[in-house]
């Protein structure tokens, strides 16, 4: 059987290829760049470990646990520090610890009594069932009030999507929230009553899921998967055209300045939506146009990792980190206390802080020269955390097109993908533009895609069974 072509060596493509190969299905993984892992990139330098993209994996489903086991990485896995569970939200110009219990919520100074009352009355707010798509902002104001949007949800959306709650679709970007209202009529009721169902599925809510990484950062995972795929991985190999024949796909691949035309039994696109728009389908029998996917918004984001002497930072920086709502007037979206989360992220007596800037809030800032970005971040950290000294380490990674925005109307892109998969033989979509933007979502996307492709190929190739 001809191998399955997987386009894109981010974590979704790597996971798909890994499990197909383990199942005895031949694969070829094409990556236009010179490295694997996509946004995952860990850099060890001068005793610091900088994560240029995601900082943790959330163990939200059994498939994530299984991948670490199957990749042989249990011994390199490290759990987040149990004492680093506190999360902060900026209010009145300073980080304040977020409450973890109903009683803590009643006692916090993060919200006024008016906002607290709005949350307590949420179970009695009628559910909206008119079928009209709603933005995250409208949904939150309707159910929880304006203050909760401006001072909590806006910060959370900035931290997760680097997005704008006015533009994001609640049903597309946060489908579990929309589902709680649809099924239970209330977010609070649904959170309580849905626990049993989540346990039955083996799923864990993201706010409660264990956080972990590896001894040398998250890059360990894509590197291990790539090592298993050695011989089946093609770096610096740009796929420009795919052509469907009678019973297979022929690709036009440019590698090392030469053109190749390999044949494949199936194609899985695991790249980005904006690059998908450039992929051409050559076939007289099919009319497939991916150009519409160029409309999907990807704002720029800069990830800035700074190291400081412990004595030069007033804040204890014990916890996960702090999120910042726009109304507080800072330029950064939030800061992760990286060296608090995991060991060996900073030299003895130092700490590592990872901040993000840009997104839909201030897209122009992410594209400034690195020197100017460092100044903006340092200025905000001085105000937020009492940073006094000059950084002892700095690294800036800029992503001109960082995170797909599941904005209002995004459902039509997903429906179009469904239609293409239903009508185009052995062509599939996987990745964070399809199945959720988190690292955990992308891993699960790859696991499910491998199962789906294997099942399809075994049904059409009895010799594989």
What pLDDT is attached to residue 83? 85
The model's confidence at residue 13, banded by pLDDT at 50, 70 and 90, is very high
> pLDDT grade, residue 22 (50/70/90)?
very high
Token digits of residue 123: 């179970």
For residues 79 and 164, state if they share a domain: no
Instruction: Report if residue 210 sits inside a domain.
Output: no
Q: Which of 399, 421, 447 is the last residue of a domain?
A: 399
Q: Are residues 78 and 119 located together in one domain of the fold?
A: no
Q: Please report whether residue 332 resides in a domain.
A: yes
Instruction: Note whether 414 and 278 are same-domain residues.
Output: yes
Radius of gyration of the chain (CA): 23
Give 283-338 pLDDT, tens digit per residue.
Answer: 656 778 899 999 999 999 999 999 999 999 999 999 999 999 999 999 999 999 99
Kindly state whether residues 186 and 223 are assigned to the same domain.
no
Same structural domain for residues 226 and 162?
no
Q: What is the pLDDT of residues 190-243, one digit of tens each?
A: 888 877 776 666 666 666 788 999 999 999 999 999 999 999 999 999 999 999
- Does residue 326 form part of some domain? yes
* Angle between helices 175-184 and 136-144 in degrees, nearest 10: 40
- Total domains in the chain come to 3
Residue at 356 is within a domain: yes
The CA–CA distances, whole Å, from 14 to 27, 29, 78, 240, 287 equal 11, 8, 21, 20, 29
The whole-number average pLDDT for the span 448-452 is 97
* DSSP letter string, 73-120: -GGGEEEPPGGG--EEEEETTEEEEPP-SHHHHHH-SSS-HHHHHHHH
Average pLDDT over residues 158-171: 97
Backbone torsions φ then ψ of 205, nearest 5 degrees = -60, 145
Domain stops at, among 355, 370, 399: 399
Confidence check: pLDDT of 168 > 70: yes
Predicted local distance difference test score (pLDDT) of residue 334: 97
Measured CA to CA, the distance from residue 398 to residue 371 in angstroms comes to 12
Provide the residue range defining the domain that includes 187.
Answer: 111-204
Question: Contact at 8 Å (CB) between 301 and 162?
Answer: yes
CATH of the domain at 77: 3.90.660.20
Are residues 304 and 371 both part of a single domain? yes
Residue 19, in any domain of the structure: yes
117 and 177 both lie in a single domain: yes
**Where residue 410 sits, what CATH number does that domain have?**
3.50.50.60
Q: Which of 374, 399, 424 delimits the end of a domain?
A: 399
User: pTM of this prediction?
Assistant: 0.94
- Smallest Cα–Cα separation from 284: which of 245, 239, 253, 248? 245
- Of the candidate ranges 99-108, 139-148, 191-200, 404-413, the one whose mean pLDDT is the lowest: 191-200
The whole-chain average pLDDT of the chain stands at 93
Tell whether 372 is covered by a domain.
yes
**How do 42-45 and 48-51 pair as beta strands?**
antiparallel
Q: Does position 101 have pLDDT exceeding 90, yes or no?
A: no
pLDDT band at 114 (very low <50, low <70, confident <90, very high): very high
Same structural domain for residues 416 and 447? yes
Does position 30 have pLDDT exceeding 80, yes or no?
yes
Q: Tell whether 149 and 119 lie within a shared domain.
A: yes
190 and 67 in one domain?
no
Q: Are residues 383 and 421 in the same domain?
A: no
pLDDT over threshold 60, residue 127: yes
Q: What's the pLDDT score for residue 201?
A: 65
Q: What is the mean pLDDT of residues 457-461?
A: 84
464: pLDDT strictly greater than 70 = no
What is the tens place of the pLDDT at every residue in 241-258?
999 988 899 999 998 889
Does 100 map to a domain?
no
pLDDT of residue 249: 94
pLDDT 10s digits, 345-401:
999 999 999 999 999 999 999 999 999 999 999 999 999 999 998 999 999 999 999
Whether residue 155 lies inside any domain: the answer is yes
Supply the CATH number for residue 200's domain.
1.10.3110.10
Do 291 and 416 belong to one domain? Answer: yes
Largest separation between any pair of C-alpha atoms in the chain: 68
Considering only 108-122, 277-291, 390-404, which range has the smallest mean pLDDT? Answer: 277-291
Is 290 in contact with 272 (CB distance < 8 Å)? no
Per-residue model confidence (pLDDT) at position 103:
84
């Amino acid at each position: 059987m001809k191998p399955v072509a997987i386009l894109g060596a981010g974590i979704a493509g790597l996971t798909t290829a890994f499990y197909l190969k383990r199942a005895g299905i031949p694969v070829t993984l094409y990556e236009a760049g010179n490295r694997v892992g996509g946004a995952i990139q860990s850099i060890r330098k001068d005793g610091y470990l900088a994560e240029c993209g995601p900082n943790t994996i959330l163990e939200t489903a059994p498939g994530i646990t299984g991948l670490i086991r199957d990749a042989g990485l249990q011994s390199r896995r490290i759990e987040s520090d149990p004492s680093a569970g506190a999360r902060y939200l900026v209010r009145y110009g300073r980080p304040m610890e977020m409450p973890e219990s109903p009683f803590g919520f009643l006692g916090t100074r993060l919200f006024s009594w008016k906002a607290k009352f709005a949350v307590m009355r949420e179970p009695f707010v009628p559910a909206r069932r008119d079928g009209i798509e709603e933005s995250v902002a409208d949904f939150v104001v309707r159910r929880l009030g304006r203050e909760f949007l401006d001072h909590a949800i806006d910060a959370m959306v900035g931290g997760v999507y680097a997005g704008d709650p006015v533009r994001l679709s609640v049903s597309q970007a946060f489908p579990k929230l929309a589902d709680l209202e649809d099924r239970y009529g209330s977010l609070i009721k649904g959170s309580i009553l849905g626990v049993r169902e989540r346990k039955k599925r083996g799923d864990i809510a993201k706010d409660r899921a264990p956080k972990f990484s590896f001894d040398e950062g998250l890059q360990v995972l894509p590197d291990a998967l790539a090592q298993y795929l050695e011989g089946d991985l093609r770096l610096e190999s740009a796929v420009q055209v795919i052509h469907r024949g009678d019973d297979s796909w022929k690709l036009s691949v440019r590698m090392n300045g030469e053109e190749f035309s390999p044949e494949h039994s199936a194609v899985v696109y695991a790249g980005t939506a904006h690059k998908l728009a450039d992929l051409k389908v050559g076939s007289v029998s099919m009319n497939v146009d991916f150009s519409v996917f160029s409309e999907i918004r990807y704002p720029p984001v800069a990830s800035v990792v700074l190291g400081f002497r412990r004595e030069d930072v007033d804040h204890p920086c014990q916890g996960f980190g702090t999120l910042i709502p726009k109304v507080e007037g800072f330029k950064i979206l939030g800061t992760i206390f990286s060296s608090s989360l995991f060991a060996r992220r900073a030299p003895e007596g130092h700490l590592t802080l990872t901040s993000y800037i840009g997104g839909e809030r201030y897209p122009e800032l992410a594209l400034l020269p690195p020197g100017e970005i460092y100044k903006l971040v340092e200025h905000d950290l001085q105000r937020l955390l009492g940073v006094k000294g000059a950084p002892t380490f700095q690294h800036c990674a800029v992503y001109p097109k960082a995170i797909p925005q599941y904005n209002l109307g995004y459902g039509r892109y997903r429906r179009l993908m469904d239609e293409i998969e239903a009508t185009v033989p052995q062509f599939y979509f996987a990745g964070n533009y399809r199945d959720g933007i988190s690292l955990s979502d992308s891993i699960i996307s790859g696991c499910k895609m491998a199962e789906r492709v294997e099942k399809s190929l075994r049904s059409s190739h009895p010799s594989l069974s």
